[in-house]
Chain A
Amino acid sequence: MIEVICNDRLGKKVRVKCNPDDTIGDLKKLIAAQTGTKSEKIVLKKWYNIFKDNITLADYEIHDGMNIELYYQ
């Protein structure tokens, strides 16, 4: 289980526990469960790289303790 920190710089900062083999889509659902927004509305980015829903965290090399930017669509 790794812990990923998602910050939208507007007041929402959540720490989400997930597995490295979870996809980004699963991570979005976990974030949605914690923040209350819908998972379809969440966009995860790192600078301008948008993370796609069907690729796992391990493939994106997202490790424990990494910060991910939270945006909305």
Chain B
Amino acid sequence: MANRTVKEAPTIKGTNPQYLIEKIIRSRIYDCRYWKEDCFALTAELIVDKAVELKHIGGVSGGNIRPSPFLCLILKMLQIVPEKDIVVEFIKNEEFKYVRALGAFYMRLVGTSVEIYKYLEPLYNDYRKMKRLNREEKFELLHMDEFIDELLREERVLDVQLPRLQKRTVLEENNQLEPRQSVLDEDIDDDNELSDEAEEEDEKKVKPKEKTSEKSKKNWKDYDKPERSPSPRYARSSSPREKSSKKRRRSRSRSKSRSRSPTRENKKKHSSRHEHRDKKDRDRDRDRDRGREKEKDIYNYQG
């Protein structure tokens, strides 16, 4: 009586929508305090208020299998089965990332394959950090795009068995989807214009660091483009174009013409107290700048 799905609800994947979450975890959610206190008599509007108050995502945690509020709200959404527009609003909203995560997770459970790819792939560009409560009741850091990646790849996320998702290639062959356009495509095109060899060497140095950051990961393999992982901008070595500009800058600071310019002489007239200081400073400036140039290169290499 209290926990029945709304009468008019369509069956999802052939079953009662609530049955998408497994029996044992569902029973744990019905018994938990958050469900009884906060999730009683929630409608679609009130769910928004609750969702905004979310502070982390998570499945069940701890020895006594405590469900997280996120999971409780997911079950509530499965119970009331909100309109698709509402779910899309949840996904599109920029301000609250946990609301977005909630909408994305619900869409993954309930939507068709085409819808899932259509609404979840734009979220790959969102790189905000989120907190996730893991099984051992510890918080871990997670990025939104990593979460979306898990939703699209893994079978079991946040202790919920995800329904089958059609492979993207199959949908592309049926012309139901366009091939994926990654935001990183433009970065890769810029990459291809500059000299390949220097960059390949530097990428080998940077690669161990890149593997840790999964943020810039393409969803599918583009057989036309050359096999290279897109490296984030800050980790790339300076291109020959940039290197040459630095050389020009350095020569300008060192050139004698600078000291002979009229503006500099005017300054000298005014500050006679600091005459000896200026002379020393010129050499110091040069040495300082030289050191700085080297530092910049080091930073570029180390990323």
Chain A residues within 8 Å of chain B by Cβ, number: 10
B24 part of interface (Cβ distance < 8 Å): yes
Is A54 touching B136 in the complex (CB atoms < 8 A)? yes
Mostly helix, strand, loop or mixed at chain B's interface? loop
CB distance from A35 to the nearest CB of B (A): 16
Name B135's contact: one of A38, A53, A72 (CB within 8 Å). Answer: A53
A43 in contact (CB, < 8 A)? yes
Decide if A8 is an interface residue (CB 8 Å cutoff): no
Asked if A73 meets B24 with Cβ closer than 8 Å, knowing A40-B159, A43-B65, the reply is yes
- Point out the residues of chain A lying under 8 angstroms from B159, CB to CB: 40
Chain B, residues 245-264, CB within 8 Å of chain A (1/0): the string is 00000000000000000000
| C-alpha gap A40/B135 in the complex (Å) | 9
Task: Tell me the count of chain B residues lying within 8 A, CB to CB, of chain A.
Answer: 11
A72-B24, A73-B28, A73-B60 known; A40 vs B156 contact (CB < 8 Å): yes
Q: How far is the CA of A50 from the CA of B136 in the complex (A)?
A: 12
The interface residues of chain B lying within 8 Å CB-to-CB of A73 are 24-25, 28, 60, 65
- With beta carbons under 8 angstroms apart, the residue of A40, A50, A72 that contacts B63 is A50
Residues of A within 8 A of B (CB): 38, 40-41, 43, 50, 52-54, 72-73
B residues at A contact (CB < 8 Å):
24-25, 28, 60, 63-65, 135-136, 156, 159
Which 9 pairs between the two chains have the least Cβ-Cβ distance? A50-B63, A73-B65, A73-B24, A72-B24, A52-B63, A54-B136, A53-B136, A73-B60, A50-B64
Beyond A38-B156, A40-B159, 13 additional contacts (C-beta under 8 Å) are: A40-B156, A41-B24, A43-B65, A50-B63, A50-B64, A52-B63, A52-B136, A53-B135, A73-B24, A73-B25, A73-B28, A73-B60, A73-B65
8 contacts between A and B (CB under 8 A): A40-B159, A41-B24, A53-B136, A54-B136, A72-B24, A73-B25, A73-B28, A73-B65
